[in-house]
Amino acid sequence: MSLRLGDDAPNFQAQTSIGEIDFYEYIDGKWVVLYSHPSDFTPVCTTELGRTAQLKSEFEKRNVKVLALSVDPVEDHLNWIKDINETQNCEVDFPIIADSDRKVAELYDMIHPNASATATVRSVFVIGPDKKVKLTLTYPASTGRNFYEILRVIDSLQLTADYSVATPADWKDGEDVIVVPAIKTEDIPAKFPKGYTEIKPYLRVTPQPNK
Protein backbone atom coordinates (compact mmCIF):
# COMPACT_ATOMS: atom_id res chain seq x y z
CA MET A 1 0.00 0.00 0.00
CA SER A 2 1.32 3.43 -0.94
CA LEU A 3 2.43 5.88 1.72
CA ARG A 4 0.09 8.81 2.17
CA LEU A 5 0.71 12.31 3.43
CA GLY A 6 0.84 12.30 7.22
CA ASP A 7 1.86 8.63 7.45
CA ASP A 8 4.89 7.68 9.50
CA ALA A 9 7.89 7.23 7.21
CA PRO A 10 9.03 3.62 7.66
CA ASN A 11 12.39 3.15 9.33
CA PHE A 12 15.08 1.02 7.73
CA GLN A 13 18.76 0.13 7.92
CA ALA A 14 20.79 0.20 4.74
CA GLN A 15 24.27 0.17 3.28
CA THR A 16 25.12 3.44 1.56
CA SER A 17 28.00 5.15 -0.19
CA ILE A 18 29.11 6.56 3.20
CA GLY A 19 28.52 3.39 5.25
CA GLU A 20 25.59 1.77 7.05
CA ILE A 21 22.81 4.03 8.30
CA ASP A 22 19.64 3.76 10.35
CA PHE A 23 17.11 6.07 8.73
CA TYR A 24 15.57 7.39 11.95
CA GLU A 25 19.03 8.10 13.35
CA TYR A 26 19.93 9.82 10.09
CA ILE A 27 16.90 12.13 10.36
CA ASP A 28 18.14 13.34 13.77
CA GLY A 29 15.56 16.10 14.14
CA LYS A 30 15.99 17.46 10.62
CA TRP A 31 13.92 17.49 7.44
CA VAL A 32 14.86 14.85 4.87
CA VAL A 33 14.54 14.52 1.11
CA LEU A 34 14.59 10.83 0.14
CA TYR A 35 14.58 10.23 -3.59
CA SER A 36 15.08 7.23 -5.84
CA HIS A 37 16.92 6.51 -9.08
CA PRO A 38 16.33 3.62 -11.48
CA SER A 39 19.99 2.59 -11.56
CA ASP A 40 23.56 3.88 -11.58
CA PHE A 41 25.29 5.33 -14.64
CA THR A 42 22.04 6.67 -16.08
CA PRO A 43 22.12 10.09 -17.75
CA VAL A 44 19.17 11.91 -16.20
CA CYS A 45 20.02 10.72 -12.68
CA THR A 46 23.61 11.83 -13.15
CA THR A 47 22.39 15.40 -13.67
CA GLU A 48 19.96 15.13 -10.74
CA LEU A 49 22.53 13.97 -8.22
CA GLY A 50 24.90 16.62 -9.49
CA ARG A 51 22.26 19.31 -9.09
CA THR A 52 21.56 18.16 -5.53
CA ALA A 53 25.25 18.46 -4.70
CA GLN A 54 25.42 21.93 -6.27
CA LEU A 55 22.49 23.02 -4.07
CA LYS A 56 24.08 21.73 -0.87
CA SER A 57 24.05 25.12 0.84
CA GLU A 58 20.38 25.66 -0.03
CA PHE A 59 19.39 22.38 1.61
CA GLU A 60 21.59 23.06 4.63
CA LYS A 61 20.11 26.49 5.35
CA ARG A 62 16.67 24.85 5.39
CA ASN A 63 17.87 22.21 7.88
CA VAL A 64 17.40 19.50 5.24
CA LYS A 65 19.37 16.29 4.77
CA VAL A 66 19.38 14.50 1.42
CA LEU A 67 19.34 10.74 0.91
CA ALA A 68 19.33 9.12 -2.53
CA LEU A 69 18.60 5.49 -3.47
CA SER A 70 19.52 3.16 -6.30
CA VAL A 71 19.21 -0.61 -6.60
CA ASP A 72 22.88 -1.02 -7.51
CA PRO A 73 25.66 -1.97 -5.03
CA VAL A 74 27.91 0.42 -3.10
CA GLU A 75 30.92 -0.20 -5.34
CA ASP A 76 28.91 0.99 -8.35
CA HIS A 77 27.72 4.02 -6.39
CA LEU A 78 31.29 5.02 -5.60
CA ASN A 79 32.36 4.73 -9.22
CA TRP A 80 29.26 6.59 -10.37
CA ILE A 81 29.94 9.41 -7.90
CA LYS A 82 33.31 9.93 -9.60
CA ASP A 83 31.51 10.39 -12.91
CA ILE A 84 28.95 12.74 -11.37
CA ASN A 85 31.60 14.91 -9.78
CA GLU A 86 33.56 15.04 -13.03
CA THR A 87 30.68 15.78 -15.40
CA GLN A 88 28.54 18.00 -13.16
CA ASN A 89 31.37 19.99 -11.54
CA CYS A 90 30.29 19.14 -8.00
CA GLU A 91 31.15 17.08 -4.92
CA VAL A 92 28.57 14.44 -3.98
CA ASP A 93 28.95 13.91 -0.24
CA PHE A 94 25.44 12.82 0.73
CA PRO A 95 24.65 9.09 1.01
CA ILE A 96 23.29 6.95 -1.81
CA ILE A 97 21.51 3.83 -0.56
CA ALA A 98 22.58 0.53 -2.11
CA ASP A 99 19.16 -1.13 -2.29
CA SER A 100 20.12 -4.31 -4.13
CA ASP A 101 17.46 -6.37 -2.35
CA ARG A 102 14.86 -3.67 -3.10
CA LYS A 103 13.87 -3.60 0.57
CA VAL A 104 13.67 0.19 0.81
CA ALA A 105 12.19 0.59 -2.68
CA GLU A 106 9.37 -1.79 -1.79
CA LEU A 107 8.91 -0.26 1.67
CA TYR A 108 8.33 3.12 0.02
CA ASP A 109 6.51 1.73 -3.05
CA MET A 110 9.18 2.93 -5.47
CA ILE A 111 8.92 -0.03 -7.84
CA HIS A 112 6.95 0.80 -10.98
CA PRO A 113 4.43 -2.00 -11.62
CA ASN A 114 4.84 -1.76 -15.39
CA ALA A 115 8.62 -1.55 -15.39
CA SER A 116 11.31 -4.16 -14.82
CA ALA A 117 11.64 -5.72 -11.39
CA THR A 118 14.64 -3.57 -10.52
CA ALA A 119 13.55 -0.26 -12.02
CA THR A 120 12.47 2.34 -9.48
CA VAL A 121 10.44 5.31 -10.64
CA ARG A 122 11.72 8.79 -9.79
CA SER A 123 10.04 9.14 -6.43
CA VAL A 124 10.58 12.02 -4.01
CA PHE A 125 9.61 12.00 -0.34
CA VAL A 126 9.93 15.01 1.94
CA ILE A 127 9.90 13.82 5.54
CA GLY A 128 9.64 16.11 8.54
CA PRO A 129 11.57 16.04 11.82
CA ASP A 130 8.55 14.21 13.27
CA LYS A 131 9.30 11.36 10.81
CA LYS A 132 6.01 11.86 8.96
CA VAL A 133 5.62 12.07 5.19
CA LYS A 134 4.98 15.69 4.21
CA LEU A 135 5.18 15.46 0.42
CA THR A 136 5.37 12.85 -2.32
CA LEU A 137 6.24 13.43 -5.96
CA THR A 138 6.63 10.87 -8.74
CA TYR A 139 8.30 11.60 -12.05
CA PRO A 140 8.59 9.35 -15.11
CA ALA A 141 12.05 8.01 -15.89
CA SER A 142 12.38 10.35 -18.87
CA THR A 143 11.83 13.60 -16.93
CA GLY A 144 14.45 15.09 -14.65
CA ARG A 145 13.27 16.56 -11.37
CA ASN A 146 13.07 20.29 -10.70
CA PHE A 147 15.08 20.81 -7.52
CA TYR A 148 14.14 24.47 -7.24
CA GLU A 149 10.53 23.30 -6.98
CA ILE A 150 11.51 20.84 -4.25
CA LEU A 151 13.20 23.67 -2.34
CA ARG A 152 10.14 25.89 -2.88
CA VAL A 153 7.84 23.23 -1.47
CA ILE A 154 10.11 22.76 1.54
CA ASP A 155 9.92 26.52 2.18
CA SER A 156 6.12 26.25 2.13
CA LEU A 157 6.02 23.15 4.32
CA GLN A 158 8.27 24.71 6.95
CA LEU A 159 6.36 28.01 6.93
CA THR A 160 2.90 26.47 7.14
CA ALA A 161 4.01 24.09 9.90
CA ASP A 162 4.70 27.08 12.16
CA TYR A 163 1.98 29.58 11.15
CA SER A 164 -1.74 29.40 10.33
CA VAL A 165 -1.19 30.20 6.67
CA ALA A 166 -1.24 28.52 3.28
CA THR A 167 0.79 29.43 0.21
CA PRO A 168 -0.90 30.38 -3.09
CA ALA A 169 -0.12 29.14 -6.57
CA ASP A 170 3.45 29.79 -7.70
CA TRP A 171 4.34 31.23 -4.29
CA LYS A 172 7.99 31.90 -3.55
CA ASP A 173 9.68 32.57 -0.22
CA GLY A 174 9.11 36.21 0.78
CA GLU A 175 5.80 36.67 -1.00
CA ASP A 176 2.35 37.18 0.56
CA VAL A 177 0.54 34.17 1.95
CA ILE A 178 -3.07 33.18 2.60
CA VAL A 179 -4.63 33.18 6.07
CA VAL A 180 -6.23 29.76 6.60
CA PRO A 181 -10.05 29.68 6.72
CA ALA A 182 -10.00 28.42 10.32
CA ILE A 183 -8.86 31.88 11.47
CA LYS A 184 -11.79 34.28 11.89
CA THR A 185 -11.34 37.63 10.18
CA GLU A 186 -11.71 39.50 13.47
CA ASP A 187 -8.84 37.44 14.91
CA ILE A 188 -6.41 38.19 12.08
CA PRO A 189 -4.93 41.47 13.45
CA ALA A 190 -3.82 39.80 16.68
CA LYS A 191 -2.23 36.87 14.86
CA PHE A 192 -0.82 38.78 11.89
CA PRO A 193 0.23 42.28 13.00
CA LYS A 194 1.71 43.10 9.58
CA GLY A 195 -1.84 43.58 8.33
CA TYR A 196 -3.98 41.76 5.80
CA THR A 197 -6.11 42.28 2.71
CA GLU A 198 -9.54 40.72 2.37
CA ILE A 199 -10.05 39.92 -1.32
CA LYS A 200 -13.06 37.74 -0.53
CA PRO A 201 -14.34 36.60 2.88
CA TYR A 202 -12.63 33.26 2.22
CA LEU A 203 -9.50 34.76 0.63
CA ARG A 204 -7.44 36.86 3.03
CA VAL A 205 -3.77 37.55 2.32
CA THR A 206 -1.03 38.76 4.62
CA PRO A 207 2.73 39.38 4.34
CA GLN A 208 4.81 36.30 5.08
CA PRO A 209 4.89 36.28 8.90
CA ASN A 210 8.48 35.10 9.38
CA LYS A 211 10.09 37.69 7.11
The residues facing 120 across adjacent strands are: 111
List 3, 33, 34, 45, catalytic entry:
45
CA distances 159 to 118, 126, 153, Å, are 37, 14, 10
For residue 145, how many other CB atoms are within 10 A of its CB?
Answer: 19
Instruction: Read off φ and ψ for residue 137, nearest 5 degrees.
Output: -135, 145
The residues facing 98 across adjacent strands are: 70
Spatial strand order of the sheet with 203-206 comes to 165-166, 177-179, 203-206, 197-200
CA distances 13 to 7, 25, 64, 154, Å, are 19, 10, 20, 25
Residue 45 bears catalytic tag: yes
Catalytic residues: 45
